[in-house]
Structure 1
Amino acid sequence: MSKPLPAHVRTYLVGGAVRDDLLGLPAGDRDFVVVGASTQDMLAAGFRQVGRDFPVFLHPETGEEHALARTERKAGRGHAGFVVHADPAVTLEEDLRRRDFTLNAIARADDGALVDPFDGVRDLQDRVLRHVGPAFVEDPLRVLRAARFMARFAPLGFRIAPETLALMRAMAADGELAELVPERVWQELARALRSPTPAAFLRSLRDADALRVVLPEVDALYGVPQRAEYHPEIDTGVHAELVCDMAARLAPGDDLVGYAALCHDLGKALTPAGELPRHVMHEQRGVAAVIALGERLKVPAEHRDLAVLACREHLNVHRLDELRPATVHDLLARCDGFRKPARIGQFATVCEADKRGRAGLSDASYPQGDRLRRLHAAALAVRGDAIAARGLSGPAFGAALRDARIEAIAAAD
């Protein structure tokens, strides 16, 4: 039978829930830190332990996470090289001191009072992302977290404190970013792509000289010129930023579209210098780079596949008006649009982000996107059972189905 926690135990709301409430943002998951309790106290009160590396418990009624106050000590390289110490004697301030940024090191007591030993409230008001203390350098994942927070908070006017950016540069130079496991890099990248301004993620990593380590294929785009009549922004890296932000605008919270947008022009970094600023065949050149990036970060297959087709086929959608019905059909087939119909809408959105992700063109129309969707819908409406009813099967059935779909595309055009 469970019993209440001892009277001397104190529970505080911490982290993102406090931060976002102070910023007036919608509430997300709530996390709590428990000061003065032991594992036995938590279990006796009915909490269910779920943490293995350190004691984390689920509340018996709300299911919300409650972690015992703890300290961390660096014991090895990489983001996981820590020894965790959880003990009833660990104070709230000691627990907050191990956190990454001052805006995440604010606690709220049951009576609503804030505990803010590192001036996180002031940094929130000043729109500054600042590290808590020198232990920041012990976890290389914090470089990516800083960039990811900027992808979310840049629209609110946030900037990285100069001293924090200096530490991020030192961490990149030290080589610890190479110790990050691919899954954690992908997790931070995907969260950045779901944010309002993914470009701030790229810029922050580049400012810290970390983009070349984390996303070298993207970093290589910076400084590569494009033809000004098509790309007024000229720099291909700047174009990648604009496209990522446009994708976030067209498909908010969609990291699948966002990742394909990020990857669509990787081939431009591989254009021979003598051919610049033209980028003939950059679509074909980029496919290998997209595949290599996906394999290194272990991205989901769905993300990899959409990124590859966006890289390879985006110019075909831009010139859709020039394509014959048979060519449109074959484009849809190459995109696997008949087996996976949702993919065509996603692909069209990536192409629109590419076209509008250029200096001065953010509000330009992109009729090719709607046209591709309309022609795809017409081809999808062709019923295979009507063709089978004619007694066709095997290759003959496939040829007749293709012909019927081409006819439907022509009629819908």
Structure 2
Amino acid sequence: MPRPRDLVQTEPGLAVLRMAALLAEDDGALDEELLDAMAEHAARGALRGTPGPAMWPELRRGLMARGPSRMLAALRLSGALGAVLPEVAALFGVPQLGADQRSVDIGLHTLNALAEAARGEAPLAVRFALLVMNVGKSDSPPEHLPVHYRHVERGGPRIEAICARFGVPAACRELALLALAECERVHRVSEVRAGPVAAMLARLGAFDQPDRFAALLQVCACDYRAHGEGFGPVYPKAALLHAALRACRDVAVDAEDPELARAQAIATALGSQRWSAAGHA
């Protein structure tokens, strides 16, 4: 592992990010001397004038390393995360209800989700979506915590701003926005509501954008398994949606009402209601 003297580069801000990205490729405890050197550079404002597009290659490198959560942890411990990704830094200490209805720290949960993505060798777009999809929850009204009403409305512009700031690839941006809108809905989807399941499959691109559908389910699965023991390796909602998708294979593409026909097929396959009250799954 490079020592602190390697931080001396043309652009100190990029040096801090590079060290954090390199830490993501390493194992073991984070190097205290290196963290101190990174913190010194951050305290001097080294990151303040660093252009976002110049930062992106280092962030990408860290996200695609075997320990992306180590990069974020190093940036946070050195005081640099607030300068690079203030939207993500603000999530630490904010509670939300976990899959088992216990309160979890959203920032720590994000680290766990990224670790799950690395274990599954997830592509960049999945890892980026997990990094940013909760940024609308940082300033939810305290009286509502650990529930986050209207976080999707707050999160969308923030994700757009992050992507614009760093010049993030369009595929990463699109999946992050999809995850923001749909991940919690996927977690809640129920086999007893065949109509909304059919509508969800259409929204997620299951019928015409299979790669997008698969990537979104990978995001959801990592988010699910990030809750710890008892949540994996099989993600039950992915199994449900794949079963529903298989049930729709014989529905004619030119059916008079394709969504209704798909709902009927899903209801038959899953033993659920043909249709249910209007609304999203």
TM range (shorter): 0.7 to 0.9
Q: Once the two structures are superposed, what CA deviation does each residue of 1:331-353 show, in whole Å capped at 9, x if it has no partner?
A: 22222333311111111111111
Greater Cα radius of gyration, structure 1 or 2 = 1
Paired residues for 1:13-24 under 5 Å: none
Structure 2: any 5+ residue segments left out of the alignment?
Answer: 271-281
Q: Which residue of 2 aligns with 1:402?
A: 259
> CA, structure 1 residues 375+229, in 2 after alignment: closer, same or farther (shift >3 Å)?
closer
Match of 1:234, SS? Answer: strand
Q: Which residue of 1 aligns with 2:31?
A: 160
2:229 counterpart of 1:372: no
**Could you say which structure has the higher strand fraction?**
1
2:72 counterpart of 1:202: yes
**Could you say which structure has the higher helix fraction?**
2
* 2:58 pairs with one of 184, 188, 192: 188
2:147 counterpart of 1:274: no
Amino acid at match of 1:166: D
* 1:332 pairs with one of 192, 201, 206: 201
Match of 2:190, SS? Answer: helix
Q: Which residue of 1 aligns with 2:40?
A: 170
Q: Which residue of 2 aligns with 1:146?
A: 19
Contact 2:7 2:16 (C-alpha < 8 Å) held by counterparts? no
- Deviation (angstroms), 1:269: 0.8
Amino acid at match of 1:354: D
Counterparts of 2:184 and 2:31, CA distance in 1:
37
- Higher normalized contact order (CA 8 Å, seq sep 6+, divided by chain length): 2
Match of 1:271, SS? Answer: coil
- Deviation (angstroms), 1:361: 4.1
* 2:169 pairs with one of 295, 300, 303: 300
Match of 1:140, SS? Answer: helix
Match of 2:95, SS? Answer: coil
* 1:240 pairs with one of 106, 110, 117: 110
Counterparts of 2:204 and 2:85, CA distance in 1:
26
- Deviation (angstroms), 1:381: 5.1
Match of 1:299, SS? Answer: coil
- Deviation (angstroms), 1:290: 1.9
Contact 1:355 1:366 (C-alpha < 8 Å) held by counterparts? yes
TM-score, reference length from structure 2:
0.85
Structure 1: any 5+ residue segments left out of the alignment?
Answer: 1-102, 104-128, 388-396
Q: Once the two structures are superposed, what CA deviation does each residue of 1:194-232 show, in whole Å capped at 9, x if it has no partner?
A: 222211011000011111111111101001123478465
> CA, structure 1 residues 402+229, in 2 after alignment: closer, same or farther (shift >3 Å)?
closer
Contact 2:110 2:131 (C-alpha < 8 Å) held by counterparts? yes
- Deviation (angstroms), 1:304: 0.9
Counterparts of 1:266 and 1:248, CA distance in 2:
21
Contact 1:226 1:234 (C-alpha < 8 Å) held by counterparts? yes
Contact 1:227 1:234 (C-alpha < 8 Å) held by counterparts? yes
- Deviation (angstroms), 1:133: 5.4
Counterparts of 2:92 and 2:51, CA distance in 1:
25
- Deviation (angstroms), 1:143: 0.9
Counterparts of 1:153 and 1:208, CA distance in 2:
17
Paired residue total: 270
